[in-house]
Amino acid sequence: MNKAIPSLEINASRQFTSWLYEQKLSLIFTTYQAGKIFFIGLKPDGKLSVFERTLDRCMGLCIDGNSLYVSALYQLWRFENTLEKGQIYDNYDAIYLPQLSYITGDLDIHDIGVPQNNKKPIFINTLFSCLATVSETHSFKPLWKPPFISKLAAEDRCHLNGLAMRNGEPYSVTMVSQSDVAEGWRENRINGGCVMDITNNEIIADGLSMPHSPRWYREKLWILNSGTGELGFIDLETGKFNPVTFCPGYLRGFTLYKDFAVVGTSEIRDNKTFQGLPLDETLATKKATPRCSLLVIDLKTGDIVHSLRIEGVIKELYDVAILPNFCTPMAIGFRSEEIRRVITVE
C-alpha cells in the first residue's frame, strides 16, 4: 500500500496579489517545523510566485541591505542578492546566493539583527538565555543576558526569543518568563512573559502571555502577545499592552511596512506547551479554528485586509520579512547545478 505524500497548499485571499503589486514588495517566511524557507512574490503575468528551499530548522530572518540572514539547525547563514538593480534572471529580480555560514551548534537561534555600528550579526541565543554574536573561533560570543539569569547554561531557562532593534542598535527583548532554572519558563506561560530594555536592564512590560517578535516602528514598541493571539503595542509610560488586532492562531513572525503589519500565525501544537493558554478560550468564544497563515493588517484600522493561507504539511511558521522593491525573489540551493555557475566578482 502506497503511503500518501504530504500535500501543501498555499492560497492567497482575493486581493493579496494586488496588494503585493501596489506596495512593490515580496515576502519571505520560515517554517522550522517543515525546514523550509519560502519566497512569495508575483510572476510577470501577475500570478502568485512561490519559491522554496530546504533549510533544516530555519527560524530567524533579517534583511540588511543586499544581505539576507537566516538561522538554521546549527548554522547562521548569510545570503547575498547577486542581481544588480533592474537585472532579471529567468523571470526573477532577486537571487539570493549562500555566501557565508557560521557554525554555531544547535543554539536554538530565534530573532536576528544587524547593528549599524559594526554590521556583525547578533542573535537571540535561546538555549543559553542570552543575546549573542558570531565568533571566528567559537560557537558564539555572549553580549548580554537578563540580570536574573545567574549563569550561562544550555538550559533555556526563560525562553528568551524576540529582539527589537531601535535606531540600528539592539533595544529590547521578549521572554516567556523570568525563570532562572532549566526550562522554568514552561510553568509560567500564561502570564509570566515580559519585555525588557537591554540598555538599562529594566522591565518595560510584564504579565504577558508568551510574547514574541518585538519591533520598534514609528516610535512605538510593537509585540505579538502570542498566548492571547493579539498584535499590539506597549505604552512605554505605563507598561500596559494595548491590543490592536486578534489573529486566529499562535503568533510568531512580524514585520511592518508603511501602514501595514504582516504577521505569521500557526496552528496550536498538540502538546502541553501550547495548551491551556488564553488563546484557546478566545478561539472557542469566536468559534474560530487556529490557522497557519500570513496576515496583512491595516495599522490604521486594525483590520485583517489580506491573507496567505498555508495548509497541509506546514502547520507552524516562525519569522517573516519584507523585501521592498523586489517582485519575484528566489534563492540558490546548496546542491543545485546553479550554485556552481553563479560566480560574482567584487
- Residues 69-110 have pLDDT tens digits of 999 999 999 999 999 999 999 999 999 999 999 999 999 999
Could you tell me if residue 54 is inside a domain?
yes
Could you tell me if residue 88 is inside a domain?
yes
DSSP letters for 223-241: EEETTTTEEEEE-TTT--E
Look at residue 114 and tell me whether its pLDDT is greater than 80. yes
Could you tell me if residue 154 is inside a domain?
yes
Phi and psi torsions of 262, nearest 5°: -115, 120
Could you tell me if residue 162 is inside a domain?
yes
Could you tell me if residue 12 is inside a domain?
no
* Interatomic CA distance for residues 199 and 179, integer angstroms: 20
Could you tell me if residue 10 is inside a domain?
no
Query: How many folded domains does the chain comprise?
Result: 1
pTM above 0.85, yes or no: yes
Look at residue 271 and tell me whether its pLDDT is greater than 70. no
| Dihedral sign for Cα atoms in the order 242, 246, 247, 249 | positive
* Interatomic CA distance for residues 37 and 293, integer angstroms: 14
Phi and psi torsions of 109, nearest 5°: -65, 130
Assign residue 176 the CATH number of its domain: 2.120.10.30
Look at residue 1 and tell me whether its pLDDT is greater than 60. no
Sheet of strand 75-81, all strands in order from the earlier edge strand to the far edge: 61-64, 67-71, 75-81, 94-103, 329-331
Residue 286, all three cell numbers:
469566536
User: Pairing state of beta strands 94-103 and 329-331?
Assistant: parallel
**Mean pLDDT, to the nearest integer, of 132-136?**
97
Structure confidence at residue 130 as a pLDDT band (50, 70, 90): very high
Could you tell me if residue 249 is inside a domain?
yes
* Interatomic CA distance for residues 95 and 93, integer angstroms: 7
What's residue 279's pLDDT? 96
Which residues form the domain of 304? 25-336
What's residue 4's pLDDT? 60
Look up residue 89 and give its amino acid. Answer: Y
